[in-house]
Structure 1
Amino acid sequence: MSHEKLLPRHRDLYYGGAWHRPEGGYVDSFSPSTGENLGPCAQANRADVDAAVRAAHQAYRSWRRTAPGERAAVLRRIAETMREHREELAMIDAIDCGNPVSALMNDVDIATQLIDYFAGLVYELRGSTIPMGEGVIDMTVREPYGVCARIVAYNHPLMFTASRLAAAVAAGNTVIMKPPVQAPLSAYRLMELIDGIAPPGVINVLSGGTECGQALVDHPLVPKVTLIGSIATGKAIARGAAENLKSVSLELGGKNALVIYPDADLDRAIKGAVAGMCFTWCGQACSSTTRLFVHESVYDQVVQGVLEGVRAYAPGIPTDKATSMGAIVSREQYDKIMHYIELGKQEGAHLAAGGKHPADPALAKGYFIEPTVFTGVTMDMRIAREEIFGPVLSILKWSDEDEMFDQVNALEYGLAAGVYTTRLDTAHRAVGRLEAGYVWVNNAAKHFFPAPFGGYKQSGNNREESFEELVSYTQLKNVYITL
């Protein structure tokens, strides 16, 4: 199937149940794997955002009163429609964001599972009664916020856009989804497919850059803003939202550590260290375990195993179902990653694998980087301290447990962490000392919903993919009744 036939016909803004030409104009999107121009995409400006927010606010007035079962039915129809177009949606993301289509089909599955999950929870948003004595009834109820703006990241464009609307809509809010500026095409196609399932104005999509995002944060009719993105962007949103004391939920970056103890099942640990890097996504994953702390007694064995394991990942054209590793999303991100690789070499780390663009002529026009492994890394190096968001693994050696945990926890990040050990006491001790919101024992980088996902410190302030996400889209009201 040609790209022209696959890609969405509509490239405008979707709000109020209709497509609207943007006052902010258009910007072309390009395939990161081939350099192909994929055509113009709408850029919402402040006027566009105002029109969309007002349409969503008008829809909220009736949607909040819609019976929970009816809201659930809408979500289930959306999930079923997505399943019917699973491969098509995955292929669009493969073309537009560079991840392999085989992995992106799993993204569609995750999104539909989460949508169904939240549809099934609509009756669980219940309050409680509080005893106050005879002649009085006191109770709490949970109510939606109103128009919620959700700004999502480029590493899982369709999955984030589709799954992150579900909790807000299930709770009775209306949503404005802002897909990633680097890869908005699957969001357009999603709205083409589900157009008419929800009442007009309940689900809206605005593509655009900084002006669009800032206008959503600033708008007085948007009481809640959420972000999946970088710490810098999260701080900017928090500052803007503070002016009107908006509710802000942030899922931000990570520089996640994976610790291997000397008693670990080393075959299992090595496989986990390689899988935890998320090389399929070129390391473009918030939960990627990019810092590998290995005890000195097993260091050489683990390094050898990791270097053998990364050979299973070779960059390739994302639309080929046999491809095991895709492309970096943009030139800007590609240049950033290559800069960090040069820094690693300059600061004295040993480049043990990768670190360059693959030699395959078929990949010459794309933003591809081989799986990259640095050994001999120390915590004073920038590759060990800063989020690269690319296929770059730093391996560090440790001997003293207290010193190792000081290094693991030294950063501003606290999203996720993992530990490999066969001892239960060691596992519990490590879990208690890891300053992260999501911790694996003898596993790495996987999400297991409905387990709550989110970070400590500057890696975020919310929990998603769980009942906690649904509750976060409600506010608590107390009702005191004198009989």
Structure 2
Amino acid sequence: MTTEPDAEARRRIEEIGARPWRQRIGDELRTGRGPTLPITDPTNDTVLAAPATADAEDVREAVERAAAGAAAWGRTTPRERAAAVRAFADVLERHAEELAWLDTIDAGLPLWMMRIDAATGVERMRMFADLAHSLVGHTIPASAGNLHLTFPEPFGVVARIIPFNHPFMFASSKLAAPLVAGNAVVLKPSELTPLSALRMGELADGILPPGVFSVVHGGPETGEALVRHPAVSRIAFTGSHQVGRAIQRSGADAGIKHVSLELGGKNAMLVFPDADLDRAVPAAVKGMNFAFAGQSCGSTSRVLVHESLAEEFTERFVRAVDALRIGRPWDEGVQIGPMVSRRQQERALGFIERAVAAGAEVLSGGGRGPGDGCFVQPTVLGGVAPDSEVAREEVFGPVVSLLRFRDEEEALRIANDVEYGLTGSVWTRDLDRALRVSRALEAGYVWVNDTSTHFPGVPFGGWKLSGIGREESVDELLSYTQLRAINVVAA
């Protein structure tokens, strides 16, 4: 495989290198005061750009401007805020192709998938604008002759910290709920994939009031400064449970902060004897999120198959994974691109190597992908022991483990015997079993006869190490408000 991009990709890569990448501090676009941080092309591990990062002073100024902007923004009506969010969504939609290309180039994700991500991000922004009418209080008959009211009030300044695997989709969709709720947002994208978020900061000019939306770029030091700022009272993070715990600790050290965390997963797909394999096998491929090189917290990286179906399922599944096309993410027909960085590539390969040493069998893939980039072949492991590392720890790479079970009790025991609890998938034509097993799974988001699909308005989030809080629904919108109760006592 050659990693020489075609003319369109070459033009866009050159534009990335030539752009003066700037952060948005309040309503000002400017270069960060911190050191530069290289952004690499994962198809060949070369530097695309080196934007300057935000230092502590940049973060302090962004938060102070956010606090000033939030004071006025929070006094506007939900309808006015929704209109501004819709206007921003319209602008982003007009730039969707550009934003999709940015994510493809700096994250290594297939262009067709990033186009879907761009559309999803805009759709979710509009969904939260539509939910603005849900910001209501209540009257409570707590006493006779008096009036008892509640009001949902914004927190003020929200720190929104997002990962590398859905750069634009997360930046846009996870901005909308706190804005509609009346907060100002300081967004910190992943230091690996900041380009689409930085571009969003430029596109916000003239749409949102001063201070209401800032974008700061940087590594852990930038995130730490943001979390610890005393004016930040609400923090929302998506990423690993290790970083989520660190954010909880830092936030607690700095004050009392409201924190929501959408963290990792070691998600199980359970295939029972009466499952429709014509649907279940492609769903297992889809559920593993190979289009993101397995870099998804919702990936069904454990497939538990009843022993009566195991041989047939394995044969079909391996054949389907073998057929996946790996290559440059902008090439037509490519289904899996590189991992985001050399570090992530080596981490995934280390899991495979240790799994084989522990007795697992590589049924498909198992090695580096083509060329010198950060590619890992889509990999299927058989003979995986339920208590092994690869069956219990999140790989966050294109590695799926196949396990067998004898009965429903064993399937649930294996599925639940991990520290994560994000998603689950149950495959059966028996409605009683479907309801029984889906209720018994220790997971916050469960599909029956489906995988990976996110439905608008259905709350998404996990149990155990997979996080706290719910997103993609009215629950997310309300989580960016705090209740005020007013009691009017008759004179």
Alpha-carbon distance in structure 2 between the residues aligned to 1:432 and 1:60: 41
**Residue from 147, 160, 176 that aligns with 1:137:** 147
Alpha-carbon distance in structure 1 between the residues aligned to 2:18 and 2:183: 27
Contact 2:341-2:374 within 8 A present in 1 as well: yes
**Which residues of 2 match residues 42-191 of structure 1 at below 5 A?**
42-191=52-201
**Which residues of 2 match residues 60-459 of structure 1 at below 5 A?**
60-243=70-253, 244-359=255-370, 364-459=371-466
Query: Match of 2:273, as an amino acid?
Result: P
Contact 2:45-2:341 within 8 A present in 1 as well: no
Contact 2:66-2:184 within 8 A present in 1 as well: yes
Identity of aligned residues (%): 44
More deviation, 239-248/18-27 = 18-27
Report the alpha carbon displacement of residue 198 of structure 1 after superposing the two structures with TM.
Answer: 0.2
Query: Structure 1, residues 97-147: CA drift from partner, whole Å, max 9, x if none?
Result: 000010000001110111001111112100000124554211000000010
Alpha-carbon distance in structure 2 between the residues aligned to 1:321 and 1:463: 36
Alpha-carbon distance in structure 2 between the residues aligned to 1:405 and 1:14: 48
Alpha-carbon distance in structure 2 between the residues aligned to 1:402 and 1:382: 22
Contact 2:23-2:201 within 8 A present in 1 as well: no
Query: Match of 2:228, as an amino acid?
Result: D
More deviation, 345-354/238-247 = 238-247
TM-align CA RMSD: 1.3
Report the alpha carbon displacement of residue 233 of structure 1 after superposing the two structures with TM.
Answer: 0.4
Change (3 A) 1:75 1:7: farther
Report the alpha carbon displacement of residue 408 of structure 1 after superposing the two structures with TM.
Answer: 1.0
Contact 2:134-2:474 within 8 A present in 1 as well: no
Report the alpha carbon displacement of residue 275 of structure 1 after superposing the two structures with TM.
Answer: 1.1
Alpha-carbon distance in structure 1 between the residues aligned to 2:133 and 2:287: 36
Query: Match of 1:174, as an amino acid?
Result: A
Contact 2:177-2:477 within 8 A present in 1 as well: yes
Query: Match of 1:222, as an amino acid?
Result: V
Query: Match of 1:175, as an amino acid?
Result: V
Contact 2:78-2:135 within 8 A present in 1 as well: no
Change (3 A) 1:132 1:276: closer
**Residue from 462, 468, 473 that aligns with 1:461:** 468
Contact 1:7-1:92 within 8 A present in 2 as well: no
Query: Match of 2:439, as an amino acid?
Result: G
Give the number of equivalent residue pairs: 479
Change (3 A) 1:136 1:458: same
TM-score by length of 2: 0.95
Alpha-carbon distance in structure 2 between the residues aligned to 1:472 and 1:195: 27
Three-state SS of the structure 2 residue aligned to 1:24 is coil
Alpha-carbon distance in structure 1 between the residues aligned to 2:37 and 2:163: 18
Report the alpha carbon displacement of residue 320 of structure 1 after superposing the two structures with TM.
Answer: 2.1
Alpha-carbon distance in structure 2 between the residues aligned to 1:416 and 1:322: 29
Contact 1:6-1:88 within 8 A present in 2 as well: no
Alpha-carbon distance in structure 1 between the residues aligned to 2:295 and 2:190: 14
Alpha-carbon distance in structure 1 between the residues aligned to 2:293 and 2:142: 58
Structure 1: give runs of 5+ residues left out of the alignment.
Answer: none
Alpha-carbon distance in structure 2 between the residues aligned to 1:79 and 1:112: 5
Alpha-carbon distance in structure 1 between the residues aligned to 2:98 and 2:49: 18
Change (3 A) 1:16 1:396: same
Alpha-carbon distance in structure 1 between the residues aligned to 2:198 and 2:142: 52
Structure 2: give runs of 5+ residues left out of the alignment.
Answer: 1-7
Report the alpha carbon displacement of residue 27 of structure 1 after superposing the two structures with TM.
Answer: 1.3
Query: Structure 1, residues 179-232: CA drift from partner, whole Å, max 9, x if none?
Result: 011010111112222222101110110110111111111110000111100010
Query: Match of 1:251, as an amino acid?
Result: E
Report the alpha carbon displacement of residue 398 of structure 1 after superposing the two structures with TM.
Answer: 0.5
Contact 1:8-1:189 within 8 A present in 2 as well: no
Query: Structure 1, residues 35-56: CA drift from partner, whole Å, max 9, x if none?
Result: 2321112322222211110011
Contact 2:287-2:451 within 8 A present in 1 as well: yes
Alpha-carbon distance in structure 2 between the residues aligned to 1:7 and 1:425: 57
Query: Match of 1:27, as an amino acid?
Result: L
Three-state SS of the structure 2 residue aligned to 1:26 is coil
Report the alpha carbon displacement of residue 458 of structure 1 after superposing the two structures with TM.
Answer: 1.1
Contact 1:282-1:371 within 8 A present in 2 as well: yes
Contact 1:314-1:371 within 8 A present in 2 as well: no
Query: Structure 1, residues 51-102: CA drift from partner, whole Å, max 9, x if none?
Result: 1100110101101011222111111111111111111110010000000010
Contact 2:235-2:258 within 8 A present in 1 as well: yes
More deviation, 401-410/295-304 = 401-410
**Residue from 474, 480, 485 that aligns with 1:473:** 480
Give the aligned partner of residue 38 of structure 1: 48
Query: Match of 2:44, as an amino acid?
Result: T
Query: Match of 1:462, as an amino acid?
Result: G
Contact 1:280-1:313 within 8 A present in 2 as well: no
Three-state SS of the structure 2 residue aligned to 1:366 is coil
Alpha-carbon distance in structure 1 between the residues aligned to 2:225 and 2:15: 33
Contact 1:10-1:188 within 8 A present in 2 as well: no
Contact 1:177-1:206 within 8 A present in 2 as well: yes
Three-state SS of the structure 1 residue aligned to 2:421 is coil
